[in-house]
Amino acid sequence: MTRVRAAVPTLVALALALAVGVALLLVVGAPPLETFRLLVEGSFGSASKISATLLAWSPLLLASAGLVVTFAAGLWNIGVEGQVIMGGIAATWVARTVPGPGWVLIPLMVLAGAVGGLLWAVFAGVLKTHGNVHEIFGGLGLDFVAAGLATYLVIGPWKRAGVASTSGTDIFRPEAWMPEFQAFGVGWPVIPVILGLLSVLVVWMLLRGTLFGLRLKAVGSNPYSSFLLGIPTNRYMLGAFAIGGALAGIAGTVQVAAFHHKLVPAISGGYGFLGILVVLLAGFSAVWIAPIALFFVGISVGSTQLDLQLGLDSAFGGVLQGIIVLFVMFGGAWSVRRASGRLTPQEEP
């Protein structure tokens, strides 16, 4: 019963967000029902659409799962975007240099992506624990450095022969493409989806059923008390960065190996930032990441149809995502305020 009641503000918020979305559509003169139908059809309406949505879902899942860990440790790991990019860069390096068949190459690329993301995250972590640089600023700074590095590599050392363009590197050889599973006439991104779901499962178990998870949450709730109680706070924070970064880095591998099949400067696809919204909306819980992330990428993938069939700018998808998060946050804040409002008058006199 309390669970149902707790869900009420969220549902109200969703309804309000929907209403605002409809109002916006009416203002620009687009038919709301048709718009929503196209969003759904464009993301889940056919086998190839579902496959495309799942392919975008996987890196978002990985980035979001990693963020749950760092949020549990009380860390504002804003540097996911950079960690995804570094994972993509490391995986690209393997794809370009390591010979051998796919069954050697693909696991190595996943591993390299994890290491790339991990190192970048730990870098931000060390800046925090040992350099006293708040992780928001460290992470954001490292985002820009990673993006700059990707652009430099694409236009510099890894450029196509005779070309200097930020367009992208040469396409990987086929062995470095994550194999797809053929069914219903389309290729399915089975490996990325497994990696994504596995990451959620691992994070869920880690935080729920292990001593590490328990201590991590203690560090997140109150680092000082945890430290007094004998938990090596810094080590736990760095551990959280390492796990979060590794998962984000694997998202980068998925982006280069399963989607672009090359390195492009925009390799992160914005999934790092979108992941933050997903986790906020999920209330920091691993359980809700999967459906919420699916909902979000569904909007992203489906919104192409708005442009293609309705002449509506597909940025509407992004606007809708933003409105939803905004209203759910307000809903959350409102219910907290109402709950505390109920308590204070009784306590005060």
Partner 1 sequence: MKRPRRAFGLLALLAVLALIAAACSSSSEETTTTAAPAESTTTVAAPAGEGFTFGMILVGPENDHGWSQAHFEAGKYLEEKTGAKMISLDSVNPADRPETSVEQVVDDMVDQGAGLIFATSDDMKDGIEAAAAAHPDIPMIWSSGDSAWAEGEGYKADLTNLGNVMGRMYYGKMIAGCAAAMTSETGKIAYLGPLINDETRRLASSVYLGAQQCWETAGKDPADLNMEVNWIGFWFNIPGVTLDPTEVTNGFYDGGADVVISGIDTTEALVVAGQRAAAGESVWAIPYDFVGACSEAPEVCLGVPYFNWGPTYLGVLNSVLDGSYTAQFQWVGPDWADMNNPDTSMIGWVSGDALADDAAAAVDVFIAGLGDGSINPFVGPLNYQDGTPFLADGETGNDQQLWYMKQLLEGMEGASSAG
Could you say whether residue 189 binds partner 1 (CB under 8 A)? no
Could you say whether residue 217 binds partner 1 (CB under 8 A)? yes
Phi and psi (nearest 5°) for 210?
-125, 155
Among 10, 46, 234, 335, binds partner 1 (CB under 8 A): 46
111 versus 170: smaller Cβ distance to partner 1: 170
> Shortest Cβ distance from residue 349 to partner 1 (Å)?
25
Return the structure tokens found at 148. 């700059």
Closest by CA to 327, choosing from 12, 117, 108, 102, is: 12
Could you say whether residue 91 binds partner 1 (CB under 8 A)? no
Return the structure tokens found at 241. 């960065």
Q: Which residue has 């068949």 as its token pair? A: 101
Could you say whether residue 87 binds partner 1 (CB under 8 A)? no
Among 26, 100, 103, 144, binds partner 1 (CB under 8 A): 144
What CA–CA distances, in Å, run from 266 to 149, 250, 260, 271, 297?
Answer: 11, 16, 10, 11, 17
Longest dimension (CA), the chain: 79
Could you say whether residue 128 binds partner 1 (CB under 8 A)? no
Closest by CA to 143, choosing from 16, 248, 290, 233, is: 248
- For residues 220-235, one letter each, b for 16 or more C-beta atoms within 10 angstroms of the residue's C-beta and e for the rest, the string is beebeebeeeebebbe
Q: How many CB atoms lie within 10 A of CB 181?
A: 12
Among 162, 230, 341, 349, binds partner 1 (CB under 8 A): 162
Could you say whether residue 204 binds partner 1 (CB under 8 A)? no
Among 259, 282, 286, 294, binds partner 1 (CB under 8 A): 259
136 versus 197: smaller Cβ distance to partner 1: 136
Say which residues have a Cβ less than 8 Å from residue 243's Cβ, sequence separation at least 6: 66, 69, 70, 203, 206
Among 88, 206, 305, 331, binds partner 1 (CB under 8 A): 305
Could you say whether residue 270 binds partner 1 (CB under 8 A)? yes
What CA–CA distances, in Å, run from 286 to 63, 71, 214, 293, 334?
Answer: 12, 11, 15, 11, 23
Could you say whether residue 272 binds partner 1 (CB under 8 A)? no
Query: Near partner 1 by CB under 8 A, which window of 62-70, 93-101, 104-112, 141-149?
Result: 141-149
> Shortest Cβ distance from residue 153 to partner 1 (Å)?
11
Return the structure tokens found at 317. 């998808």
Query: Near partner 1 by CB under 8 A, which window of 122-130, 150-158, 190-198, 227-235?
Result: 150-158
Among 122, 129, 300, 331, binds partner 1 (CB under 8 A): 300
Could you say whether residue 180 binds partner 1 (CB under 8 A)? no
28 versus 205: smaller Cβ distance to partner 1: 28
DSSP 33-56: HHHHHHHHHHHHSSHHHHHHHHHH
Could you say whether residue 210 binds partner 1 (CB under 8 A)? no
Q: How many CB atoms lie within 10 A of CB 194?
A: 11
Are 268 and 144 contacting, i.e. CB atoms less than 8 angstroms apart? Answer: no
Q: Interface with partner 1 by CB under 8 A: which residues?
A: 46, 48, 52, 56, 74, 76, 136, 144, 147-148, 151, 155-156, 159, 162-168, 171, 217, 220-222, 259-262, 264-271, 273-274, 276-277, 280, 284, 297, 300-301, 304-305, 307-319, 321-323, 325-326, 329, 333, 336
